C-alpha cells in the first residue's frame, strides 16, 4: 500500500489505518445514532396532559418501551427552573468521530498523497499542493456555510433559500474536487468536508449555546431562547448531511461511481437522493404524530434518482466485432505476463508487495489470477487511479485469459 515509505513504517501505517477505521466506525455509529434518535424524539413529542408537567414548563413528552423497560423523556419549552445535579452532554461522539476520521484521512490520503490523492491526468501538482488544497476544502466549506447561516439563515422563513444556497456550494465543491483529485479521493474529500462542518456545528454553535444557557441559569439570569434556536437549526442541518456523508465515505469501494466520466454529477445526485430519503424519515415522524399519511413522495424521489443513476452508469451492451482468429491460451498467457509486468509490477514486486500481493513470478500471477481479474477487469479499481495507464484492450485480454483459465479448472 505504502509506495513511498519503508516496509516497517508501511506496516505500522497499515495498523494505524485499521485501528483508526475501527474507532471511526464505532464513534460514528454513536454520533449518528444519537442524532437520529433526538430528531425522531423532537418530532414525536406530544403536549403533556398532566398539569404538573405543564407547570414545570414541559412542552412535550413521549412514552416508549425498550429492552423490557418503560421510558418517559420530556422536553422543556426553554429550560428547567432548576438544573439537575447530573446533566449529560452529547458532544464526545461528534468530536471523536471527526478526530478519528481526520486521522484516517491523514494516514491514508494525505500522508501518501502522490498515490491516493493525486491523479496526474487531472492535475499534475506536488503532494504538498494537493494536501493544502484538500485541507482548504475542509475549512473553506465550513466558512462559507457558516456565513450563509449567520446571514440568510437568521432571516425568518428563509430556510428553503438557505438550503438551496448550501446545496449549490456543495455542487461547486464536488465539481472542483473531481477536476483536481483522483475520483476516490474526491468523493471522500467531499464527505470529509461536510462531516467537518457537522462537527464544527457542534463545536462552535450547539455546545457553546448550551453552555451559555446553563451559565445563565446558574447566574439566575433569564435564558435567551436564541441559543436553542440556533442549535436546533444546526442540528437539523447535520441530520440532512448524514446520509450524503455516509455514501461519500463508502464510495471508494465502488469505482463504477468514482471513475465515471461525470463522476462529480454522480456524487451530487446520490447525495441528493440521500438527503431526500432522510427528509422522508424526518417528515414521517411529524405526520405519524398528526395521524396523517407518510410522505412517501420524498422517499420515492430519492429512490428514482438512484435508479436513474444506476441506469445511466450501466455498462453498454457489447457491440459485435468482426470474427478474429482464435488466440491460443499460451499466447494469451504471454500477453498477460507482459501487461502485468508493465502495469502492475510497479507496486506488486518482490521488494514492494502492496497489500501483501506480489506478481514477481509467473507462478504468483497464476496464483492471484482471480484477484487480478476482479480488481483490473470487473471493478477497474486497479491500477490505483490508473497510474500506469492500462488500456481497455489490456483489461479485455486479462478477462479473456481468466475466462480460459477458469473454464479449464471447472469440473
Task: Tell whether the model's pLDDT for residue 32 goes beyond 90.
Answer: yes
- Return d(Cα 178, Cα 119) in angstroms, integer: 10
- CA distances from residue 122 to 113, 170, 244, 385, 405 in whole angstroms, order as listed: 14, 20, 25, 10, 36
2 — pLDDT class (breaks 50, 70, 90) = very low
Alpha carbon 53 to its chain's center: 42
Cα three-residue angle 251-257-260, rounded to 5 degrees = 145
Average pLDDT over residues 181-210: 95
Ranking 86-95, 202-211, 384-393 by mean pLDDT, the lowest is: 384-393
Instruction: Provide the pairing of β-strand 64-66 with 58-61.
Output: unpaired
Task: Tell whether the model's pLDDT for residue 358 goes beyond 70.
Answer: yes
Task: Tell whether the model's pLDDT for residue 365 goes beyond 90.
Answer: no
Among 41, 39, 65, 63, residue whose Cα is nearest residue 50: 63
- CA distances from residue 160 to 122, 269, 397 in whole angstroms, order as listed: 35, 19, 52
269 neighbors 250 (Cβ within 8 angstroms): no
Average pLDDT over residues 362-367: 85
Task: Tell whether the model's pLDDT for residue 389 goes beyond 80.
Answer: no
Return the higher-pLDDT residue of 17 and 250: 250
Contacts 24+ apart (CB under 8 A), 324-328: 327/400
DSSP state of 292: P
Task: Tell whether the model's pLDDT for residue 349 goes beyond 80.
Answer: no
The pLDDT value given to residue 393: 86
Mean pLDDT score of the chain: 87
Write out the E strands in 144-291.
Answer: none
Helix (H) or strand (E) holding 387: none
The pLDDT value given to residue 324: 59
Grid cell locating 220: 439566575
240 neighbors 283 (Cβ within 8 angstroms): no
CB proximity list for 175: less than 8 A, separation 6 or greater: 264
251 neighbors 267 (Cβ within 8 angstroms): yes
Q: Give me the sign of the Cα torsion angle 183, 185, 186, 188.
A: positive
- Return d(Cα 268, Cα 244) in angstroms, integer: 9
Average pLDDT over residues 71-99: 89
The pLDDT value given to residue 239: 93
pTM: 0.82
Task: Tell whether the model's pLDDT for residue 225 goes beyond 90.
Answer: no
Task: Tell whether the model's pLDDT for residue 346 goes beyond 80.
Answer: no
Average pLDDT over residues 158-181: 96
Grid cell locating 87: 446533566
> How is 321-380 classified by DSSP, letter by letter?
----PPPPHHHHHHHHHHHHHHHTTTTBSSS-BGGG----SHHHHHHTHHHHHIIIIIS-
> Three-class SS of residue 136?
helix
The pLDDT value given to residue 1: 44
- Return d(Cα 345, Cα 336) in angstroms, integer: 12
321 — pLDDT class (breaks 50, 70, 90) = low
250 neighbors 106 (Cβ within 8 angstroms): no
DSSP state of 260: S
Upper half-sphere CA count for residue 303 (Cβ side, 13 Å): 6
Alpha helices by DSSP H, listed for 181-225, are 183-201, 207-218
Q: Domain locations in the chain?
A: 7-44+78-313, 331-409
Write out the E strands in 48-149.
Answer: 58-61, 64-66, 69-71, 74-76
352 — pLDDT class (breaks 50, 70, 90) = low
- Helices 263-290 and 183-201, interaxial angle, to 10°? 40
The pLDDT value given to residue 148: 97
CB proximity list for 406: less than 8 A, separation 6 or greater: none
Task: Tell whether the model's pLDDT for residue 76 goes beyond 60.
Answer: yes
pLDDT tens-digit profile of 49-69? 999 999 888 999 999 999 999
The pLDDT value given to residue 242: 96
274 — pLDDT class (breaks 50, 70, 90) = very high
- Return d(Cα 285, Cα 334) in angstroms, integer: 62
Amino acid at each position: 500500500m505504502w509506495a513511498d515509505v519503508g516496509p516497517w513504517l508501511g506496516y505500522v501505517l497499515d495498523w494505524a489505518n485499521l485501528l483508526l477505521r475501527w474507532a471511526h466506525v464505532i464513534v460514528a455509529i454513536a454520533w449518528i445514532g444519537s442524532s437520529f434518535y433526538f430528531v425522531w424524539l423532537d418530532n414525536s413529542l406530544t403536549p403533556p396532559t398532566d398539569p404538573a408537567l405543564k407547570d414545570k414548563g414541559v412542552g412535550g413528552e413521549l412514552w416508549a418501551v425498550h429492552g423490557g423497560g418503560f421510558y418517559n423523556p420530556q422536553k422543556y419549552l426553554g429550560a428547567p427552573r432548576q438544573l439537575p445535579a447530573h446533566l449529560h452532554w452529547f458532544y464526545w461522539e461528534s468530536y471523536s468521530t471527526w478526530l478519528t476520521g481526520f486521522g484516517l484521512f491523514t494516514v491514508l490520503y494525505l500522508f501518501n498523497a502522490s498515490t491516493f490523492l493525486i491523479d496526474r491526468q487531472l492535475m499534475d501538482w506536488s503532494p504538498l499542493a494537493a494536501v493544502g488544497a484538500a485541507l482548504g476544502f475542509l475549512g473553506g466549506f465550513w466558512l462559507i456555510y457558516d456565513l450563509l447561516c449567520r446571514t440568510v439563515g437568521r432571516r425568518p422563513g428563509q430556510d428553503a433559500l438557505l438550503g438551496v444556497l448550501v446545496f449549490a456550494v456543495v455542487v461547486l465543491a464536488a465539481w472542483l474536487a473531481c477536476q483536481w483529485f483522483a475520483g476516490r479521493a474526491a468523493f471522500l474529500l467531499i464527505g470529509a468536508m461536510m462531516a467537518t462542518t457537522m462537527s464544527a456545528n457542534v463545536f462552535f454553535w450547539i455546545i457553546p449555546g448550551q453552555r451559555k444557557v446553563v451559565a445563565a441559569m446558574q447566574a439566575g439570569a433569564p435564558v435567551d431562547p436564541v441559543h436553542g434556536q440556533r442549535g436546533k437549526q444546526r442540528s437539523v442541518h447535520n441530520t440532512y448531511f448524514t446520509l450524503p456523508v455516509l455514501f461519500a465515505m463508502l464510495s471508494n469501494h465502488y469505482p463504477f461511481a468514482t471513475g465515471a466520466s461525470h463522476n462529480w454529477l454522480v456524487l451530487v445526485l446520490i447525495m441528493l437522493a440521500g438527503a431526500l430519503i432522510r427528509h422522508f424519515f424526518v417528515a414521517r415522524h411529524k405526520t405519524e404524530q398528526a395521524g396523517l399519511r407518510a410522505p412517501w413522495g420524498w422517499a420515492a424521489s430519492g429512490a428514482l434518482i438512484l435508479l436513474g443513476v444506476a441506469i445511466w452508469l450501466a455498462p453498454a451492451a457489447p457491440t459485435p466485432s468482426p470474427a478474429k482468429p482464435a488466440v491460443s491460451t499460451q499466447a494469451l498467457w504471454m500477453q498477460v505476463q507482459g501487461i502485468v509486468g508493465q502495469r502492475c509490477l510497479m507496486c506488486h514486486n518482490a521488494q514492494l508487495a502492496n497489500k501483501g500481493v506480489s506478481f514477481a513470478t509467473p507462478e504468483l500471477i497464476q496464483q492471484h489470477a482471480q484477484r487480478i481479474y476482479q480488481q483490473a477487469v470487473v471493478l477497474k479499481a486497479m491500477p490505483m487511479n490508473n497510474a500506469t495507464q492500462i488500456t481497455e484492450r489490456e483489461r479485455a485480454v486479462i478477462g479473456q485469459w481468466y475466462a480460459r483459465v477458469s473454464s479449464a479448472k471447472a469440473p
